[in-house]
Homo-oligomer: A and B are copies of this chain.
Amino acid sequence: MPATGTGPVDFYFDFSSPYGYFAAHRIEAVAAAHGRKVDWHPILLGLVFEVSGGRPLPSIPMKGDYARVDVARTARFHGIAWRQPAKFPVSGQAACRAFYWLAARDVECARRLARALFDAYFVEGRDISSPQVVVDVAAGMGLPGAALAEALSDPAVKERPRTETELAIARGVFGSPYFIVDGEPFWGHDRLDQLDRWLASGPF
């Protein structure tokens, strides 16, 4: 049975989400294997939680303790580099702003920046809530650091993460990572297997 669509996989994530980071390492290969593109949508989970009643993992009794074990083991299971950041979680505001500012100019470049920011945080332990760190990561990729630094305090750029998060909430997104393809929602890095089958053979 053919897949129902040919549209992109919408990939929603928060820059402070470990499972979002894992998904960022894997989603492009899963989609490409079936001829699909991926649209990356960084969002601010803090705003989502105001609607959903969710909370950051470390603050949840019992589940927070488990999550530390699970995240590190899941990284090893999939062979993805991982180091628990000392400061966790952090705000993804600056990273989101940089992403959308760059995406308006060069989507592929913005995607590379997103991956670099994830690695900076979850491998190198750099505090990506700092606009300066975000600019440094971008500059390290050869992107125009000065123009980005200026953009990060532009009111329109500052507003964008909230707008994108509200659009995501309107589509039902309540966690990170969250995927929507052909109208079908998949929540969690551990749903990549079902997403893969969906792309391979259509609705099941």
Contacts and interface: CB of A to CB of B under 8 A. Distances in A.
Interface string A106-143: 00000000000000000000000000000000000000
A26 interface: no
A91 interface: no
Copy total for this chain: 2
Contacts of A53: 60-61
Given A70-B187, A77-B194, A172 B62 contact: yes
Contacts of A193: 77
A190 B190 contact: yes
A63 B52 contact: yes
Contacts of A62: 51-52, 169, 172-174
A54 B60 CA distance: 9
A65 interface: yes
Interface in A145-204: 169, 172-175, 184-185, 187-188, 190-191, 193-194, 197, 204
A168 to B, nearest CB: 11
A69 interface: yes
Contacts of A185: 66, 69
A77 B60 CA distance: 30
Contacts of A54: 63
A204 B172 contact: no
28 contacts: A51-B61, A52-B60, A52-B62, A52-B63, A53-B60, A53-B61, A54-B63, A62-B169, A62-B172, A62-B174, A63-B175, A63-B187, A65-B172, A66-B172, A66-B174, A66-B185, A66-B187, A69-B184, A69-B185, A70-B187, A70-B191, A73-B204, A74-B194, A76-B204, A77-B193, A77-B197, A188-B190, A190-B190
